[in-house]
Amino acid sequence: MHKNEITVVYGENPRAMVETLLTVLKPEQTLRPGATIGLKPNLVLDKPAASGATTHPEIVEGVIRYFQAKGYSNLIIMESSWVGARTEEAFRVCGYRELADRYGVELLDLKKDRTVQKETADGTLTVCAAPLAVDYLINLPVLKAHCQTLLTCALKNLKGCIPDQEKRRFHRLGLHRPIAQLAAVLPVHLTIVDAICGDLTFEEGGNPVPMGRLLAGTDPVLLDSYAASLLGLAAADVPYLSLAAELGVGTTDLAAAVVTEVNPEAKKAGGFRLTGRAKQLARYVEARDACSACYGSLLHALHRMAEERELAALANGSKKIKIGQGFRGVKSGGLGVGTCTRGLEKTLAGCPPTARAIRTFLRRALAD
């Protein structure tokens, strides 16, 4: 897999999705026999994945099954929940204790791991030893919003590889620069992003938005830049991305990205339930058999626009944004998002379009 490649798989079965992804990527081709493989999910706290806060255990299960079938038996699931939360409880509640027992895989609470010092241009970082010691580290973040950094995905997930005292120091330092520095000293070989139903507004979960996909790449900065666009953000909105690029971790240049959809036919219409903030935003939408990937992008765009008070033209309910396969062949006035609405007066193509593209389109369309 080349550094500028991003691979996307759609579906409703996370385990099958990640096995499909790995079958395409063939990461074992770069591994020596008997290599130690570290798996770093996002288990920030003890909430199930359906909340939008944590990595689906079925994804990690699929990774384990894939590598075990290839003859790799030395796999370690490693994580340190956020300050104040017990990692062992997150392992239990999120289904990882049962998963580890079933497949004979080690669970490592990084809060109990020894640490090492890594030098950076700005000083020393304290990093847990285990993620540095494995032969191959797979980062398995959730794509979701964050109350301070706006985005949490590949780079931000590495904060679970430092001790609690260092996490506190990261906050005192403003998060962005130390996050970039951590990415520069902690090599990640493959990142697989859980974009099944990450939270719309907050890293702790509670407002999951169905997006129905996994993303994979070997450049975490490029992957995060692409992920940001799915939340309606530009890479420039997330300072640690440009800082990491300056340190040589990767690039923010999405124009150079080669995005491959493995199974675009797997985008499914309907079958998802909106809650909380996502349900509130849905009042601006007229959906007919909309796929979760497209609907999720629209909700993320609407959330960003609501934050910037850009939805006044939709407030009285006289206009709604149309989306979904039910609008195929419909020719009428109004606003449409996605290729299925191409017959409407004003429409944005894409299957699915990114939230950032939707936001740009709606700003212009609503201003007319």
Would you say residue 269 has pLDDT above 70? no
Tell the residue number behind the tokens 């001790």, with chain if given: 163
Q: What is the mean pLDDT of residues 52-69?
A: 98
Alpha helices (H) along the chain: 14-25, 57-69, 87-93, 96-103, 129-133, 154-157, 164-172, 176-185, 220-230, 239-246, 276-281, 292-307, 355-367
Asked if 320 and 285 count as a contact pair (C-beta separation under 8 A), the reply is yes
pLDDT at 318: 77
Lowest mean pLDDT, pick from 214-223, 234-243, 261-270: 261-270
Task: Give the tens place of pLDDT for each residue, 176-197.
Answer: 999 999 999 999 999 999 999 9
Q: What are the phi and psi torsion angles at 170 (to 5°)?
A: -55, -40
- Percentage with pLDDT > 70 across the chain: 98
pTM given for the model: 0.89
Concatenated DSSP letters of 295-319: HHHHHHHHHHHHHTT--GGGTTSS-
Q: Using the CB atoms, write b or e for 97-106: b if 16+ within 10 Å.
A: bebbeeeebe
Structure-block tokens of residue 127 = 């990093």
Output the CA torsion sign for 234, 263, 42, 191.
Answer: negative
Asked if 327 and 274 count as a contact pair (C-beta separation under 8 A), the reply is no
Asked if 65 and 72 count as a contact pair (C-beta separation under 8 A), the reply is no
pLDDT at 293: 82
Average pLDDT, the chain: 94
Determine the Cα–Cα distance for residues 239 and 173; give it in Å rounded to an integer: 13
Question: Would you list the domain boundaries of the chain?
Answer: 5-266, 276-367
Determine the Cα–Cα distance for residues 48 and 7; give it in Å rounded to an integer: 26
Alpha helices (H) along 151-219: 154-157, 164-172, 176-185
pLDDT at 272: 63
Q: What is the mean pLDDT of residues 53-57?
A: 98
Asked if 113 and 127 count as a contact pair (C-beta separation under 8 A), the reply is no
CATH architecture of 5-266: 3-Layer(aba) Sandwich (3.40)
Task: Give the tens place of pLDDT for each residue, 82-135.
Answer: 999 999 999 999 999 999 999 999 999 999 999 999 999 889 999 999 999 999
Helix 355-367 / helix 292-307 crossing angle, nearest 10 deg: 60
pLDDT band for position 337 (cuts 50, 70, 90): very high
Q: 194 has which bridge partners? A: 142, 214
pLDDT at 271: 60
Structure-block tokens of residue 333 = 């006035």
Q: What is the mean pLDDT of residues 233-258?
A: 97
Determine the Cα–Cα distance for residues 337 and 294; give it in Å rounded to an integer: 8
Would you say residue 275 has pLDDT above 70? no
